[in-house]
């Protein structure tokens, strides 16, 4: 119930903050076809609400399958439950499932209270002292902060053995939702907050997700969003190389996602 109450009190102020943010930016390196983009307040709010809904529904839908199919795919005959009021029930009874959401909302809450220029320590202390459960890079980052190791060192691989984990990737949505059509701005937000718990590929995943969210405000072309968003990540990184491979294999097998899945398994399953 603590998590559920926190989420209810945080989402609406977030929508209000974003609704009054500027949606124009001269950013030819990313949106080369237009020097500025204008989005109406109604469309902006609708896209923000859709972004939150999509993340929440996705987390709920995938919850029963989490960690159950490592090294194998979910077979076509496997049914995934979706009873009536499933999201609401999980929010109220299975709060730990939503670490993707409540980490996002913690950072949004800080922005509402301290402003867009809030110092990184405000974000770090807010989640480090929160009552909700955490795992992997988030938990290690919390431990570091509570023991005097401040960001960005709290997320550095020298202090955080989970620095390459996906924690920031699953909680970077807010940075893109705050930066409509401005992926470079989303990356700047990620640079401040993402290194609290992650570094390297663990951080690049968050940058990529935030960039795609940002681009989705100004484009409905999924291929464009996926490929353009990847420009936010250094080409020499393993994260870039992995995602670039996925894009390449999808082009090779456009009607057979399982063939692409097998290619990913063969090349990228082992990290050591």
Q: pLDDT digit string (tens) for 158-170?
A: 999 999 999 999 9
Using an 8 Å Cβ cutoff, are 133 and 96 in contact?
Answer: yes
Domain span holding position 98 = 2-224
Confidence label for 38 from pLDDT (cuts 50, 70 and 90): confident
Residues 136 and 175 in one domain: yes
Total domains in the fold of the chain: 2
Residues 98 and 155 in one domain: yes
Q: pLDDT digit string (tens) for 88-132?
A: 999 999 999 999 999 999 999 999 999 999 999 999 999 999 999
Q: In the chain, what percentage of residues exceed pLDDT 70?
A: 87
| pLDDT of amino acid 30 | 45
Taking 80 as the threshold, does the pLDDT of residue 72 lie above it?
yes
Q: What is the mean pLDDT of the chain?
A: 89
Evaluate if pTM is beyond 0.95. no
Kindly tell me the burial class for residue 247, based on how many C-beta atoms sit within 10 Å of its own C-beta (0-12, 13-18, 19 or more).
middle
Confidence label for 36 from pLDDT (cuts 50, 70 and 90): confident
Q: In the chain, what percentage of residues exceed pLDDT 90?
A: 84
Give the span between the Cα atoms of 124 and 126, in whole angstroms: 6
User: By C-alpha distance, which of 228, 174, 173, 210 is closest to 28?
Assistant: 228
Residue 262 CA from chain centroid, whole number: 25
Residues 207 and 113 in one domain: yes
The dihedral over CA atoms of 157, 158, 160, 166, expressed in degrees to the nearest 10, equals: 0
Residues 185 and 252 in one domain: no
Q: What tokens does 205 get?
A: 């995943």
Confidence label for 34 from pLDDT (cuts 50, 70 and 90): low
């Amino acid at each position: 119930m603590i998590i559920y109450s926190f989420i209810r009190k945080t989402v609406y102020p977030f929508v209000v903050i974003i609704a009054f943010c500027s949606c124009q930016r001269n950013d030819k390196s990313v949106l080369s076809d237009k020097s500025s983009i204008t989005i109406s307040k109604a469309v902006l709010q609708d896209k923000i609400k859709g972004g939150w809904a999509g993340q929440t529904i996705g987390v709920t839908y995938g919850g029963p399958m989490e960690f159950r199919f490592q090294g194998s795919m979910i077979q076509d005959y496997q049914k995934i439950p979706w009873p009536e009021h499933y999201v609401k029930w999980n929010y109220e009874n299975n709060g730990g499932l939503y670490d993707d959401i409540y980490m996002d909302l913690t950072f949004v809450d800080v922005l509402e209270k301290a402003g867009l220029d809030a110092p990184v320590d405000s974000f770090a202390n807010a989640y480090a002292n929160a009552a909700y459960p955490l795992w992997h890079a988030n938990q290690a980052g919390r431990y570091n902060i509570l023991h005097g190791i401040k960001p960005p060192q709290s997320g550095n691989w020298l202090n955080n053995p989970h620095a390459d984990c996906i924690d920031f990737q699953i909680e970077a949505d807010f940075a893109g939702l705050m930066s409509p059509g401005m992926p470079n701005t989303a990356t700047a937000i990620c640079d401040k907050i993402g290194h609290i718990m992650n570094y390297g590929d663990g951080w690049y995943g968050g940058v990529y997700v935030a960039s795609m969210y940002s681009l989705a405000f100004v484009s409905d072309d999924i291929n464009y969003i996926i490929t353009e968003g990847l420009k936010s990540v250094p080409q020499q990184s393993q994260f870039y190389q992995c995602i670039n491979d996925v894009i390449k294999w999808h082009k090779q097998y456009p009607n057979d996602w399982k063939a692409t899945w097998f290619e990913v398994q063969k090349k990228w399953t082992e990290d050591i």
